[in-house]
Chains A and B, each alone.
Chain A
Amino acid sequence: MNIFRIIQEIEKVDGEVYDRFASRRQAFSSLGSFGKKVALAAVPIAMGTMFKKAYGQSTSGIADVLNYALTLEYLEADFYMQGLAASGAIASENMAFFEDVRDHEVAHVAFLKTAITSLGATPVDKPTFDFSAGGAFPDWNSNPATYLALSQAFEDTGVRAYKGQAANLVASNEVLTAALQIHAVEARHAAIVRRIRGLKGWITNDERGAGMPAPTQAIYDGEAETMQAGVDVPAVSGVAAASVTEAFDEPLPMETVLNVASLFIA
């Protein structure tokens, strides 16, 4: 059972579950009180434990953020390791690029685990991933077009996911800088994957781009912003609104990131 369905199950017994995500600490610390209802919904305890470990029990907001990032990096690292191991997921001319991407994502996993441990917290366990998303992408590891689309989805998500967390990392200059540095690498990946797919390296308006499955639209919603820190950028710059939306990547709410990621957790 994937987490997305778990959340839907929780929604049946707690209609405000999505609101609770606005304060994840509150939401997940109250998971305990869902206990009986969750059991009734036959949700695996292990999954709840993983979730709770990831977002609820840390004494440090920084460790929370790093564990959130770690879950995404596990997903990416696993996706590239499995894709490179499969025959037919990646076109030969792109192998070298994806080997580098894999190495970066594996390094991000190691980096984040070290950082979390050094903060005195516990890194979350790696979930078991299902990149077919329950059968929605059955050819994910045999069709380069599907593989590239999923790669774009993960990299563009990664870019947006880190951004929303910067303010939660200001207590540590080192962690904040490292998060920015990781996030820039995700953006380099995203740009190249998009260019391999024949798209621009940047996101225009909130368009997911040709060939992207409809369920990935959530990754792009909110990207069409043209007001930045109270400045109407097209008005002050004379730059077309569509270009202005390309010039600023927007943060993605944690609940959206988790929903996207959860589609791929077995």
Chain B
Amino acid sequence: MREQTKPEEREGGLMKSLGGPMQRRTFFRYAGATAAATTLLLTTSCDEDDEVTPPMNDKAVDLGSGDIGILNYAYALEQLEAAFYTAVVAESASALSADEMMVMQDLMAHEVAHREFFKAALGNKAIPDLEVDFSSINFKDKNSVLQTAKTFEDLGVAAYNGAGKLFTDTGAGLTYLLMGGKIVSVEARHAAAIHDLISENARAYGAEMVDANGLDRAMSPTEVLGAAGAFIATEINFSNLPK
């Protein structure tokens, strides 16, 4: 069920351009890199100008526009997280302690619930199943598993924080906004637990994710998909999302 695709086999350099580990680290470490990364994305293949069609291969998945687009964006991220924890539970027993595996089993259940919720809510507007690329993850290595989980959970928090304002429909959109609120705090609980597993004695919760105003990170879909792209083999067209 998991497609292992080498980065060089992927078409469309959009995601690949930000996919390397170095770029991701830079991305998270420096606020300024966000703007740089965005610029890179835009100049590579995703001009915000609607007149310009990004070069997409014929397998590119279009998230769509408006509230449906945002829901598909969330659905895409939940697909990624659910696939990751499903693989962890299936493959990483030898690398993790019993306590760590219990957390992973919970996270798998939660993310599958999120994924299937969005799929059902979207109905025939749902994007197809995405192919993931976990070739950079060593599922037999505890550090690789936990660091990837940390990346996904912190990114999930930032994604929902940044997406809330993009819902436009004041009717159904408010329901979706509330749904995002119901999910983002669970992603934050996950993120804290993963940080805690990585650094148990410090009772770590992800200090580096919280700024001087006591605010967790918020990221735009462009930023999030740039960072998550290394793990998604399917090319995604998100140019029609609200901005």
Residues of A within 8 A of B114 (CB): 247
Report the minimum CB–CB distance from B28 to chain A (whole Å).
16
User: B189, A180: Cβ atoms under 8 Å?
Assistant: no
Known: A177-B162, A181-B218, A233-B113. A201 touches B192 (CB 8 A): yes
Residues of B within 8 A of A103 (CB): 214
Report the minimum CB–CB distance from A24 to chain B (whole Å).
18
> How far is it, in angstroms, between the C-alpha of A229 and the C-alpha of B175 when the chains are bound?
7
Report the minimum CB–CB distance from B179 to chain A (whole Å).
6
Name B92-126 residues within 8 Å CB distance of A: 106, 109-117, 119-121
Residues of B within 8 A of A243 (CB): 106, 109-110, 113
Residues of B within 8 A of A173 (CB): 165
- Among listed A14-22, A191-199, A212-220, interface-contacting one: A191-199
> How far is it, in angstroms, between the C-alpha of A19 and the C-alpha of B210 when the chains are bound?
38
Of B116, B178, B216, the contact of A251 (CB 8 Å cutoff): B178
> Which of A103, A176, A229, A250 counts the most B-chain CB atoms under 10 A from its CB?
A229
Report the minimum CB–CB distance from A197 to chain B (whole Å).
12
Residues of B within 8 A of A189 (CB): 192, 205
Residues of A within 8 A of B188 (CB): 184-185, 187-188, 191
How many chain B residues touch A (CB < 8 A): the figure is 57
Report the minimum CB–CB distance from A140 to chain B (whole Å).
20
Contact with A along B148-190 (1 / 0, CB 8 A): 0000000001001110110100100011111111111111111
User: B112, A163: Cβ atoms under 8 Å?
Assistant: no
Of A167, A181, A247, the contact of B161 (CB 8 Å cutoff): A181
User: B181, A246: Cβ atoms under 8 Å?
Assistant: no
> How far is it, in angstroms, between the C-alpha of A163 and the C-alpha of B184 when the chains are bound?
10
Binding site for A on B (CB under 8 A): 106, 109-117, 119-121, 157, 160-162, 164-165, 167, 170, 174-193, 196, 201-203, 205-207, 209-210, 212-218
Given pairs A182-B215, A188-B210, 11 additional interface contacts (CB within 8 A): A167-B177, A181-B161, A184-B185, A188-B216, A201-B189, A202-B186, A236-B120, A237-B115, A237-B116, A248-B182, A249-B186
List 24 A–B pairs whose Cβ atoms lie within 8 Å, in order of A's numbering. A93-B203, A104-B214, A111-B214, A170-B165, A170-B170, A177-B161, A177-B218, A180-B164, A180-B184, A184-B161, A185-B188, A185-B214, A191-B190, A192-B193, A192-B196, A195-B193, A201-B190, A228-B117, A236-B116, A239-B109, A243-B109, A247-B110, A248-B182, A251-B178
